[in-house]
Amino acid sequence: MKIIHCPVNGPRPLQEFYFGGQLRAVPTSEQVAAMTDAEWSDYAFNRDGSPGIQKEWWYHTPSGTWFIAERDIVTDGFVRTYLFDQADQESHNDG
Amino acid sequence: MAERLPYREGEWIDRTQPVTFHFEGVAYEGFQGDSLSSALWGAGLRVLGRSFKYHRPRGLYSLAGHDVNLLVEDGERTNLRGDFLPIADGLDVRAVNTAGGLKRDRLQMIDRFGSLMPVGFYYKAFHTPRSLFPFYENQMRKIAGLGKINPEALCRPSPKDYAFCDLLVTGAGPSGLAAAIAAAEAGLRVVLAEEQPQAGGSLQTQHARAPQTAEQVQQLIRRASELENLELRCCTQVAGYYSDHWAALVDERRLTKLRTRAAVFASGCIEQPAVFQNNDLPGVMLGSAAQRLIYLYRVAPCQRAVILTANAEGYRLALDFVEAGIPVVALVDLRHDGESSEWGRLVEESDIEIFRGHTVHEAQPGPSGHSVRGVVLCPLDGDGHPDAIGHLKLDCDGVIMSVGWAPNVDVAYQAGVRFTYSDQVGQLVPKECPPGVFLAGRAAGIFDLENQMDSGRRAGLQAAALLDSYDGVIPPAPIHRGPPPSHAFPIFPHKGKKNFVDLDEDLHLVDFKNAHHEGFDNIELIKRYTTVGMGPTQGKLANTNAIRILARLNGKTINETGTTVSRPFHHPVSLEKLAGRRFHPQRRTPLHTLHQELGAEMIHAGAWLRAEYYRDGASARADCILHEARQVRHSVGLIDVSTLGKLQISGPDAARFLETIYTGNFSDQPIGRLQYAVGCDELGVIIEDGVVARVGEEHFYVTATSSGVAAFYRDLKRWALLLRMRVELINATGHLAAVNLAGPQARKVLTKLTDLSLAPEDFRYLDVHRGCVAGLDALVMRIGFVGELGFEIHVPTSGAQHLWRTLMEAGAAQGIRPFGVEAQRLLRLEKGHLIVGQDTDALTHPYEVGLDWAVKEEKPYFVGARSLQILRKQPRERTLIGLVLSQDHGVEECHLIVEGERMLGRITSVAHRTTLGMPIALAFVHPDRAREGTELQICGTGGVPISARVVPLPFYDPDGLRQKLKD
Amino acid sequence: MNRSESVSIRQSPLQFLAAGAVATNRAVGLADLSLLEKWGVKGPGAASWLAERGVEIPQTIYASRPLSEGGLVVRVGSDEFFLEAGQLDQSLASLGDSVPAAADFTPVIREDAALLITGCGGLDLFAQTCGHPLQQSPMDQIIFTRVAGVSCGILPQSSGEEPQYRVWFDPSYAVYLGETLLQIASELGEAASEPSV
């Protein structure tokens, strides 16, 4: 079973985790208001699954810890993990 | 019983402990240490099984579990392999796949109709007439199975466990022992897994005759046992290898999930058969099987042997027979040049006749077809084709094959090792190993004992170096010198078409030619069309030859032909071991034992056990439920709602946070008041509902659905991060118990037990107060899920039983009754209250279920707002309505509402017997049909149409006077 | 309402452990400590408030320290603390009752089921129920993982030759987990009692 390195709890087996989907910034109310219905639908329903390194939300269930993992979705290899607060500034501003 | 060979030091049988067992209803004797195969062969039995398709008699072949000629069941367990099954007093087994027993198998006549059943015949036959297919199918199911499942068999929990180590070594033969010892001496914690009952591997069989070998084996095993950080596990297979060095180790007792940091595969080789006519007769076997019989079990493989070989091992094998006193009629070498090693010379000096450049073309069956009586030899021409003209016959009762090997590396493949075919060694050798995975010994293509041990030692040190436990010199990798131990193509056509490539599936050479001819010329296609390698041994004795045949048919090399993917498990693993102890976490409320005392019928509600209803004398379930509900309506009832999700949300941004998560307004909610709240996801779909109570300026107490709270809490934690809000979120679900006291007499009962004033002006509908109830610190809320005056009391779980008992005592005068989940569901249905997940589905948004009022559109931003904006404008496709049914039976949840062929909607909740005296339901229906008074048709149980009438909601007490009761 | 009254109306979720079940054998001992008073506090101001109250708090996440009057305090989050009394008659109410209304932290109600696992078979018990290598875990550091499918906090504590383990988990799982561990502990105890072959 795969091991994920939780930034708080250390290496743990996959069964202790919950996958939370792609990391995306929450659009601000202004950005949301400016979107057309079609643009909003795209945001709400679609995700980017292109091969390469994805930033993902993962949750360590026994301790209730959310963190970000960068994972190569082709090789299923975890590159690094960190808490959301410690994420790069740029990922906050993705619209 | 036939005589065993004389006693030999190191034999696996204990002659002081005879064992009696039964096979096919007949008693046999063997010794402690015998496997079923060795005991039966030692007793002189030759037909051990019937093949899958043709029901041909089969005998001992590999004695290593690489064939399943002896496959038995004991009435409880099936899929037992004779090679691995130890005999014990009381063992009573039968062969599978026979009709009427092994000897008289009625299906053996199928063998004569082989030509009517070419490869893939079942794809082309039995289609017509279609009416007969069920008959064909039934007959095929009877014939095509391998064993019967006993549905009554006891399935015990098994002690599945976890283990951890630095290095897993697979195989305790010479290279495995060397690797494990080297690594352990360098400080690693090593687990050495050996699937046989004893360590030693080929040292105990192929090399057994050499005088120094016995001592060598003992030395290695002794050294291994001295090392405290080396754990040897015998009778343990490494069944599969998974991500991040996770291995499944399976023994007779249990499955161990082992996390290691590195692995050495020293799993040796699987000896491969030659393909010639009747190469499956009892008496034809692999050389390593003969050696196991001779050295481990002291059983003579046959009386007069012909050895077919293409390597030095075959000559060594001949010398084993000589020493055991078994005459070798001939040694047939496929190679024109013969054998130039020391063993070749020794055999030449003996009186064994050697035929170079010859093959066994046919094994000739004895009178009943149950044994070998002789062979037909043919010389081979320059291209390796048999020349029938020069044939000659020899008498013998055993044909022993030593023509080649395939590395035993299916699990190494799962660990990520990739292979390439080497002509030099005549087998696949490792091409790429992922970090932390090493191969040693014959599995890596290293033959020659000294080299094997060197390669093992090297692999152990490499692992230790990788894990920073060794920084010394790593010895160089040994290289194979000399001719390849495997023949490139030991496969000979014969017009008799009983030259088998796959014994499991009864596939012979022409089957492959036919499949290829039909266009299945790719390794993946030919595997699936012929089913080669898909039988119980997963092609251990067949895949190598199949690839050789396909390569030749395509005119390609082995590397160009490729292999199929290897998947767990290496040998079969019982479901019992996989299930282990079967952990099914179950949640109970703190009142569980009280419910049982009160005669509750408990049901599973998700992970929880809840009281469904309380048994009342001999009354039927439906009567009990109705009785409980009536008691709530007329007097007072008490229900355990401890499974409710309970969240504490506090902090400076708490109100703003709630306004973002839910659709409603919370900033202006006064302290001491609560409101019903609806939560949507970003698509505007309802995911949660519950009650939000304000207990302080920055403190809110929120209830949520029992089944949804864990996921909801998890999501809230993420929202708090994303929104960067200062909130503390606490999931108190398991730490607080809750009961609901409901009914017109509720106030009378509760007022005796609390310091809070319950007067209507002090404790209004939708008020929340903290106080003391029954001596416990409690939060009390006045809400109306069931539509009556009601108080929901939340206390710490440790006080729950005391609270319940006190309330029941206090309410005795009012005839208080406990009521269960079913009564509650009925009562809320009468009030038209929806249950998220029952009356809503994965697409339901608030506007479909009359919750428009809960969505505060003017709020700047909340989860789902933008989607709700879009949904609001769209025409409704359905709406939730109330129905009164025309009859009190025959309607269930999810029954459709239809109009001719058109589906108008479906029932979401239904109650046949209610306190209102009429059957009711909630349903989704197209808005065109939602008007009050409309008659609708429900497609009921069995397709019976049942009519219903649309009525306004709620069914009961439309003005809500009962829950706001002021007296 | 005084302390002794409150104890008598409180019930442990692991009550069944004491009733007749053999909870201690040669291999493993299981003891129910659920009735020890527990309390939690969470928020940015929690650490300094506790320190002001004379509690020596652990500096790093997941570390534990003894309380001066008995019991322990565990830092279960960067801003969250869990306290447990050392004896049945020790109360943490003095802490709980003195939280100011406008504080930047909040009390957390703790009704966890609490177990103590002792004996040479403790690790064998975990080997069958927990996928975490506890034998490699340092003392006095809480580990949040799963035991038999239930989320738990496990605290190894040194005690003589073998470590002992405190385990806390949601009380609704108490009967399931308690019975499961008891079953396995009994089997280990039987195996320990048999003469080795």
Are residues B861 and A44, on separate chains, in Cβ contact within 8 Å?
no
Proportion of chain B above pLDDT 70, given as a percent: 100
CA distances from A19 to A13, B471, C153 (A): 13, 40, 22
Is the CB of residue C42 less than 8 Å away from at least one CB of chain A? no
Mean pLDDT over B787-812 rounds to 96
Local confidence pLDDT in tens for the 197 residues of chain C: 444 455 568 889 998 776 434 456 678 889 999 999 999 999 999 999 999 988 999 999 999 999 988 999 999 999 999 999 998 888 887 877 778 877 889 999 999 999 999 988 899 999 999 999 999 999 999 999 999 999 999 999 998 888 999 999 999 999 999 999 999 998 888 776 655 43
Proportion of chain B above pLDDT 90, given as a percent: 87
Phi, psi values for residue C142, rounded to 5° = -80, 140
Is the CB of residue B261 less than 8 Å away from at least one CB of chain C? no
Complex-level ipTM: 0.94
Q: Which CATH superfamily is domain B161-270+406-466 in?
A: FAD/NAD(P)-binding domain (3.50.50.60)
Quick one: closest CA in B to C175, which residue? B588
The shortest CB-CB distance from A20 to any of B718, B865, B866 is to: B718
Is the CB of residue B797 less than 8 Å away from at least one CB of chain C? yes
The one-letter code for the residue type at C81 is F
CATH of domain B497-575: 1.10.10
DSSP state string for B310-321: SSHHHHHHHHHH
Cβ-Cβ contacts under 8 Å, A61 against chain C: 146, 151
Q: Which CATH superfamily is domain C12-34+112-190 in?
A: Probable tRNA modification gtpase trme; domain 1 (3.30.1360.120)
Token pair 């075919």 in the structure block, residue: B421
DSSP state string for C53-92: TT----SSTTBEEE-TTSSEEEEEETTEEEEE-SSTT---
**pLDDT above 90 (res B721):** yes
Residues C60, C66, C69: CA angle, nearest 5 degrees: 140
- Indicate the DSSP class of residue B812: G
Between A and B, how many CB-CB pairs are < 8 A? 44
CATH class of the domain comprising B875-967: mainly beta
**Residue A59: domain span:** 3-92
> Distance (Å) from the C-alpha of residue B710 to the closest C-alpha of chain A?
10
Best probe of the B interface among A8, A12, A66, by most B CBs < 10 A, is: A66
Closest CA to B580 of B155, B159, B77: B159
Quick one: how far is CA B499 from the chain centroid? 36
Are residues A40 and B861, on separate chains, in Cβ contact within 8 Å?
no
Q: Which residues contact B216 (CB under 8 A, 6 or more apart)?
A: B174, B203
Quick one: closest CA in C to A62, which residue? C151
Are residues A1 and B246, on separate chains, in Cβ contact within 8 Å?
yes
Rounded CA separation B178/B629 (Å): 75
What is the pLDDT, as a whole number, of residue B967? 54
Rounded CA separation B758/B767 (Å): 10
Mean pLDDT over B496-508 rounds to 95
> Distance (Å) from the C-alpha of residue A63 to the closest C-alpha of chain C?
5
How many CA atoms lie within 13 Å of B776's alpha carbon, on the beta-carbon side? Answer: 27
Are residues B696 and C101, on separate chains, in Cβ contact within 8 Å?
yes
Residue B938 structure tokens: 């429900």
CA distances from B793 to B763, B777, B790, B812 (A): 13, 10, 10, 18
Selected residues 677-716 of chain B with any CB under 8 Å from a CB in chain C: 696-699
CB B360 within 8 Å of CB B400 = no
Mean pLDDT over A50-66 rounds to 97
Domain ranges of chain B: 1-154, 161-270+406-466, 273-403, 497-575, 593-642+735-811, 644-733+844-872, 875-967
Cβ-Cβ contacts under 8 Å, C177 against chain B: 585
Band (pLDDT 50/70/90 cuts) for residue B63 is very high
Are residues B162 and C173, on separate chains, in Cβ contact within 8 Å?
no
Are residues B775 and C9, on separate chains, in Cβ contact within 8 Å?
yes
> Distance (Å) from the C-alpha of residue C131 to the closest C-alpha of chain B?
6
Is the CB of residue B732 less than 8 Å away from at least one CB of chain A? no
Is the CB of residue C149 less than 8 Å away from at least one CB of chain A? no
Cβ-Cβ contacts under 8 Å, C146 against chain A: 15-16, 61-62
B273-403 to CATH, choices 3.50.50.60, 3.40.50.1000, 3.40.50.2300, 1.20.1080.10: 3.50.50.60
Domain count, chain A: 1
Cβ-Cβ contacts under 8 Å, B248 against chain A: none
Rounded CA separation B175/B452 (Å): 5
What is the pLDDT, as a whole number, of residue A89? 43
Q: Which range among B142-156, B201-215, B616-630, C140-154 shows the weakest confidence by mean pLDDT?
A: B142-156
CATH class of the domain comprising B1-154: alpha beta
DSSP state string for B371-423: SEEEEEEEEB-TTS-B-GGG-EEEE-SEEEEE--EEE--HHHHHTT-EEEEET
Q: Which chains touch A (3 or more CB pairs under 8 A)?
A: B, C
Is the CB of residue A82 less than 8 Å away from at least one CB of chain B? no
**pLDDT above 80 (res B945):** yes
Q: Cis (ω within 30 of 0) for the bond into B129?
A: yes
pLDDT in tens, B520-543: 999 999 999 999 999 999 999 999
Mean pLDDT over B35-49 rounds to 96
Cβ-Cβ contacts under 8 Å, A40 against chain B: 866-867, 870
Mean pLDDT over B939-943 rounds to 94
The shortest CB-CB distance from A44 to any of B244, B722, B867 is to: B867
What is the pLDDT, as a whole number, of residue B128? 78
pLDDT in tens, B353-370: 999 999 999 999 998 889
pLDDT in tens, B820-861: 999 999 999 999 999 999 999 999 999 999 999 999 988 888
> Distance (Å) from the C-alpha of residue C105 to the closest C-alpha of chain A?
18
CATH of the domain at A16: 3.30.2270.10
Cβ-Cβ contacts under 8 Å, B242 against chain A: 1
The shortest CB-CB distance from C11 to any of B257, B587, B798 is to: B798
> Distance (Å) from the C-alpha of residue B682 to the closest C-alpha of chain A?
7
Q: How many residues appear in chain A?
A: 95
C36-110 to CATH, choices 3.40.50.620, 3.20.20.10, 3.40.630.10, 3.30.70.1520: 3.30.70.1520
Architecture of domain B644-733+844-872: 2-Layer Sandwich (3.30)
Are residues B590 and C131, on separate chains, in Cβ contact within 8 Å?
no
What is the phi-psi region of residue B801: left when phi exceeds 0, alpha when psi lies from -120 to 50, beta otherwise? alpha
Rounded CA separation B521/B561 (Å): 10
What is the pLDDT, as a whole number, of residue A88? 53
**pLDDT above 70 (res B462):** yes
CATH class of the domain comprising B593-642+735-811: alpha beta
Are residues C150 and B585, on separate chains, in Cβ contact within 8 Å?
yes
Between B and C, how many CB-CB pairs are < 8 A? 117
Burial class from Cβ neighbours inside 10 Å (0-12, 13-18, 19+) for residue B772 reads middle
Q: Which residues contact B285 (CB under 8 A, 6 or more apart)?
A: B59, B60, B61, B62, B63, B301, B398, B399, B400, B401
> Distance (Å) from the C-alpha of residue B735 to the closest C-alpha of chain C?
5
Cβ-Cβ contacts under 8 Å, A15 against chain C: 131, 146
What is the pLDDT, as a whole number, of residue B497? 92
Closest CA to B792 of B804, B801, B783: B783
**What is the pTM assigned to this prediction?**
0.92
Cβ-Cβ contacts under 8 Å, A16 against chain C: 131, 145-146
What is the pLDDT, as a whole number, of residue A94? 35
CB B917 within 8 Å of CB B911 = no
Rounded CA separation B330/B338 (Å): 14
Quick one: how far is CA B923 from the chain centroid? 40
Between A and C, how many CB-CB pairs are < 8 A? 21
CB C176 within 8 Å of CB C170 = no
Residues C27, C32, C33: CA angle, nearest 5 degrees: 125
Best probe of the A interface among B160, B719, B722, by most A CBs < 10 A, is: B722
Closest CA to B821 of B643, B691, B645, B676: B643
Instruction: Indicate the average pLDDT of chain B.
Output: 94
**pLDDT above 80 (res B451):** yes
Closest CA to B117 of B397, B504, B505: B505
Mean pLDDT over B866-877 rounds to 95
- Helix B543-554 to helix B509-517 angle (10° resolution) is 40
Q: Which chains touch B (3 or more CB pairs under 8 A)?
A: A, C
- Which residues from C are below 8 Å from B when comparing CB atoms? 1, 5-6, 9-13, 34-35, 42-44, 101-102, 104-106, 108-112, 127-131, 133, 135-136, 148-150, 170-177, 180, 184, 187
Are residues C145 and A8, on separate chains, in Cβ contact within 8 Å?
no
Band (pLDDT 50/70/90 cuts) for residue A93 is very low
Are residues C144 and A9, on separate chains, in Cβ contact within 8 Å?
yes
> Distance (Å) from the C-alpha of residue B866 to the closest C-alpha of chain A?
7
Band (pLDDT 50/70/90 cuts) for residue B99 is confident
Beta bridge mates, C51: none
Reduced 3-state DSSP string for C88-142: CCCCCHHHHCCCCCCCCCEEECCCCEEEEEECCCHHHHHHCCCCCCHHHCCCCEC
Cβ-Cβ contacts under 8 Å, C28 against chain B: none
Are residues B866 and A20, on separate chains, in Cβ contact within 8 Å?
no
